[in-house]
Chains A and B, each alone.
Chain A
Amino acid sequence: MNHRIAGAVAVFGAALLLTACGSADPAPAPSADAEQFKQVAQDPAGEITVWADATRVPVVEAYQKAHPEAKIKLVTYSGNANGATDLQTKVQLFDRTGSGWPDVAFSTTTADTAWAAFGAKPYAAPVDKVIDQSVLSGFSPGALDPCKVGENVYCVRNDLAQVVLWYNKKLLDEFGYQVPTTWEEYQTLGEKVATEHPGYLVGTAGDPWMPEIYLWASQCPASTVTEGKNVTVDLKNEKCTRAVSMIDTLIKAGSMSKSSVFDAGFIKDKAAKLLMAPGPSWYGQVLFNATFKIPKGEIAAAAPLKYAADSETFTGNVGGGVWYISSHSKNLKTAADLVSWVTTSDEAQGNAGTYPAFQSAATLWLSNQQATGYFAQDIAPAFTTAAKQVWPGWSATQYSHESIYASTVVPALNQGQTITSTLDAWQTAIKNKAATLGYKVS
């Protein structure tokens, strides 16, 4: 019996080898052309399905309350947080069956644009065709960059995560240090802290988002996507190595941690000794307040650091959610109205957990933050400055720099290597990952 089966399998396999008639390469995903975007038949009274993560659910419910005439079916999903690809997984299946797409979807990662805006019939509709330009122009400059493919915008930014310099004002005053304004001063201070106050830290390098804090700010061309799906990866660029060697120096000196700020061990033993840390805007409430439990009146934020040699200051960005509108939606009007409301209105954004991408809402948000009295001084100047300084050269890619850094560089760091010595392996890892996702790498 089994010999017969084995024989049949062998014959069948041989036959297949001979009869191959197509190419095994996966179908190349053509770049989206917004001019060809065609609406499906519209039904302005129809129900729309909205996918949001649990954090965004109250906002959508608030929209429903303010617009009782809109018919909304709200579905909670992971929001693609922490590396999940739920939206993409489901959309792949919906594409196969030709139905089921959510009219509106929230995602915690801007990286989704890199697949949602591509394909034969991209999932994401060009929002500049359905949302008024006057609304889109109210966003912080550069906030919509990760949503752009060519000249078109495929998502609406919910919140920004611009990198500022967080510091513990109480400790800094105690030690008698000045807040640095350049990376060079920062490094000098770091070395000084290491000798004068061993055990205290000026930053962490074990977080997955380390590239987005340090390399993005130093304008490193870690991935530059050009026309279509061409990408260049150049970690050996001087703009990258200046940040990397600074981190290596500080790790060696002992004032930069190899852990992540969310490691339980770090929270337990190191959090109170974190003198300063370049980090995204959400560090304030999420990290220092809720996780580290640093008391009121100690934490403050300074504007992003500058490289002395550069003429302009740039900073990085760690996350920030986006809203997509489905190109398959039968009710684009309601979908667009909902997305505009949840991203721009004061009701939706004034007390959000993270910094609103929409400028007027951000102003209100900052005054509400000031009212909490948590920070040692007003964070508004640092935040608004940083929001305008996010370097636009860092491309949104379908692969995540975070997971590549976490799985390639962090283990090496913890085996005692320097980041400089892993640059080759790191660069190869980025190139390999890009190639498997259909990028042409050079």
Chain B
Amino acid sequence: MVTLQDRSRATATGHAKPRHRDGRRWTAGRVLGRATWFGGTGLFLIFFALPVLWMILATGKTDGDIIRGHPFALGNWHDFTQTWNNLLAFQDGAILLWMKNSAVYAFGALVITLVTAIPAGYGLALTKFIGRKTLLTITLIVMIMPAAALVLPLYLEINAVNLTGTIWSVILPLSFFPFGVYLTYIYYSSTIPEDLLAAARLDGCTEWQVFAKIAIPLAKPIIALVSFFSFVGNWNNFFLPFVMLPDSQQYPAQVGLNNLLTASAVFNTSAGTEAPILRPELALAALLTILPVLLVFLFSQRALVSGMLAGGTKE
């Protein structure tokens, strides 16, 4: 068992070495290991990717093809443009408006989350103050409180300060992100050895300088992780904007999608046949609204990996 002392020493002094072991002999064990690896990850690759692949293909077909044809038959460009046009025709391109709104809420809340959660996680992990454990406990309690019960209190609260209907009624509650504080707390408490901070303090650094010089440069991976989870949470939140916003011009993508769904004859038998929103249009709308999330994922994944590998060696 490696002791924590060893680990922090290694963290403080080490530098990344090539990971591969010497020699690449193909013993029976290795072959078996390889096969297991490919088999296992491949199985889950299919599990996670197949439904998404189906959905992408569905956007290039007609509703009838989806129901009657082979699930993985290829669509065609003509049907895809038709789907695209039908979707954009829905309330004069409402989907673009929803996505713009979502971006405002998600990024607005993200900024406030980062500014509050990173220092807070650091403070909880590496400074001492009275009430530290209480704060951790309360954070935990609030985190596991079922959201359904908080809707009414939040609504009354926002109403009491006259913010109903403004973008702040969505941004402010979303920017409270205890999950991020905990991630940061765990990250700092298991990455930065206190010796390092102690040394900095001995050198006469103020607490703020310690944070700015040591914690911030190391923060890249955790900022990536918190940004990512915060952004996704904000982007996908349905209930809060649904309750807070009185105007359909303000709807974010998730609330808008719900309207799109109930405007479809597939789910609303009283919709009649005028709105050509059927399965392909719904699939396309779903895929469009996840693009921003995937972009943020790609960015944060890069920061996450590069930052973490470089992490321990910095001073």
Q: Which residues of A contact B (CB under 8 A)?
A: 1-2, 5, 49, 53-55, 57-58, 73-79, 81-82, 84, 86, 89-90, 93, 96-97, 100, 108, 159, 161, 262, 264, 267-268, 282, 285-286, 289-291, 293, 318-321, 352-354
Contact = CB atoms under 8 A, between A and B. Distances in A.
B203 interface: no
Interface string B251-266: 0000000111111011
Interface stretch (B4-12, B183-191, B214-222, B272-280): B272-280
A84 B247 CA distance: 18
Contacts of A73: 247
A321 B273 contact: no
B152 interface: yes
Contacts of A54: 90-91, 259-260, 262-263, 271, 275
B27 interface: no
Interface of B: 64, 67-68, 90-91, 94, 133-134, 137, 152, 155-156, 159, 164, 242-243, 246-248, 258-263, 265-275
Contacts of B94: 76
A396 B150 CA distance: 32
30 contacts: A54-B275, A55-B263, A55-B270, A73-B247, A75-B246, A75-B248, A76-B91, A76-B259, A78-B259, A79-B270, A81-B262, A81-B268, A81-B270, A81-B271, A82-B267, A89-B243, A96-B155, A97-B156, A97-B159, A100-B246, A108-B268, A108-B270, A267-B67, A286-B265, A286-B273, A290-B273, A291-B265, A319-B269, A320-B270, A353-B274
Counting chain A CB atoms within 10 Å of each CB, the highest count among B64, B152, B247, B274 belongs to B274
- Secondary structure at the B interface, as helix, strand, loop or mixed, is helix
A81 B159 contact: no
Nearest to A285: B273
Contacts of A267: 67-68
Contacts of B274: 55, 58, 353
B152 A96 contact: yes
A282 B268 CA distance: 11
Given A353-B270, A353-B271, 12 more contacts: A1-B134, A76-B248, A78-B261, A81-B262, A81-B268, A81-B270, A100-B246, A285-B272, A286-B265, A319-B270, A320-B270, A321-B270
B268 A289 contact: no
Contacts of B90: 54
A84 B263 CA distance: 12
Contacts of B68: 267-268
B273 A353 contact: yes
Nearest to A78: B262
Given A75-B246, A96-B156, A100-B164, A55 B271 contact: yes
Contacts of A86: 242
A172 to B, nearest CB: 24
A93 B270 contact: no
Nearest to B164: A100
A1 B246 CA distance: 44
A293 B275 CA distance: 16
Contacts of B248: 74-77
Nearest to A55: B271
B268 A57 contact: no
B91 A354 contact: no
Given A96-B155, A97-B155, A293-B64, A352 B272 contact: yes
Contacts of B152: 93, 96
Contacts of B164: 97, 100
B272 A286 contact: yes
Contacts of A81: 262, 267-268, 270-271
A69 B242 CA distance: 31
A81 B272 CA distance: 12
B155 A79 contact: no
B261 to A, nearest CB: 8
The 3 closest A-B pairs by CB, nearest first: A353-B272, A54-B263, A81-B268
A262 B272 contact: no
A424 to B, nearest CB: 30
Nearest to B134: A1
Contacts of B246: 49, 75, 100
B93 to A, nearest CB: 14
A53 B266 contact: no
Given A1-B133, A79-B262, A353-B273, A55 B155 contact: no
A107 B102 CA distance: 26
Contacts of A353: 270-274
Contacts of A161: 270
B273 A53 contact: no
A77 B266 CA distance: 17
